[in-house]
Amino acid sequence: MTDPRWFGHPRGLSTLFFTEMWERFSYYGMRAILVLFMTNAVATGGMGLDDVTATAIYGLYTATVYVVALPGGWIADHLLGLRRAVFWGGCVIAAGHFTLAIPHIAAFYIGLTLIVIGTGLLKPNVSAMVGDLYPEGGARRDAGFSIYYMGINTGGFLGPLVCGYLGEAVNWHLGFGAAGVGMVLGLIQYSVGGRHLGSAGELRPEMAAPAQRSAAARALIRALEGIAGVGLISAILQSIGAISL
């Protein structure tokens, strides 16, 4: 984990650098064409939504991506470990992008939901793994994070160029599919380079005990039940309101 073979830093930093680069490629590439796709006319492949509705959906999507980082971090700390959370989060993100590539209204909303869930698992935990590569802390870790952020910026720069061009010039769903390909490349990089991560991102021993994992699983189930209950009550109240009108 401390083998300095990549610009004087742990080799595992290159794994996380390119993983996050491709994830940001997919994320910002999709975002670049999201509102354009929603407001584009149905006759030319878009959804035909008005500007207000499209930007409201966009705003809700981007806000939710940041909110789910909290439960995503909790799940990684108590159930999966950072390393597995990043991998499975990337798989869900890729599935979301490829679902967006399906020209169907239901696929659009399902795809956005999958990307939100996957980003909640991947985004906060891959950054935490960078810190795990530097148990000694100090200026070297700060330099490692600076290199890591260069990967974020590179992906954020290239994604809109590639996905934006394909979406606007060729086909909107091809642009969404290209974002999915980017995430798959990130997963391949992550899997191949995983051997360089050492113990970074492994589930903490105190959380790996069966009793702790069972308690965490029960807590997660109760939270999901609560969310489902709130959603059901909201749907019922909305239905009652619509009927009364």
What would the pLDDT profile of 49-78 be if each residue is shown by its tens digit? 999 999 999 999 999 999 999 889 989 888
Say if 3 falls within a structural domain.
no
Q: What pLDDT shows up at residue 181?
A: 97
Query: How many structural domains is the chain composed of?
Result: 2
Q: Do 151 and 44 lie in a common domain?
A: yes
Q: Do 34 and 108 lie in a common domain?
A: yes
Q: What pLDDT shows up at residue 241?
A: 53
Q: Do 104 and 217 lie in a common domain?
A: no
Q: Do 40 and 110 lie in a common domain?
A: yes
Q: Do 86 and 183 lie in a common domain?
A: yes
Q: 19-28, 61-70, 217-226, 228-237 — which is least confidently predicted?
A: 228-237
Going by pLDDT thresholds of 50, 70 and 90, the confidence category of residue 200 is confident
Helices 12-39, 105-132: axis angle to 10 degrees equals: 160
Going by pLDDT thresholds of 50, 70 and 90, the confidence category of residue 214 is confident
Strand partners of residue 56: none
Q: What pLDDT shows up at residue 233?
A: 73
Q: Do 170 and 232 lie in a common domain?
A: no
Q: What pLDDT shows up at residue 77?
A: 87
Going by pLDDT thresholds of 50, 70 and 90, the confidence category of residue 1 is very low
Q: Do 30 and 53 lie in a common domain?
A: yes
Say if 2 falls within a structural domain.
no
In the Cβ-directed half-sphere of 179, how many Cα atoms lie within 13 Å? Answer: 35
In angstroms, the CA 6 to CA 215 distance is: 40
Q: Do 183 and 72 lie in a common domain?
A: yes
pTM: 0.86
Q: Do 199 and 220 lie in a common domain?
A: no
Round the average pLDDT of the chain to a whole number and report it. Answer: 87
Q: Do 225 and 163 lie in a common domain?
A: no
CATH code assigned at 14:
1.20.1250.20
Going by pLDDT thresholds of 50, 70 and 90, the confidence category of residue 147 is very high
Say if 26 falls within a structural domain.
yes
176 is in which domain, residue-wise? 9-204
Share of the chain above pLDDT 90, in %: 64
Say if 119 falls within a structural domain.
yes
Q: Do 135 and 225 lie in a common domain?
A: no
Work out the average pLDDT over 225-243. 62
In angstroms, the CA 59 to CA 89 distance is: 21
Q: Do 135 and 219 lie in a common domain?
A: no
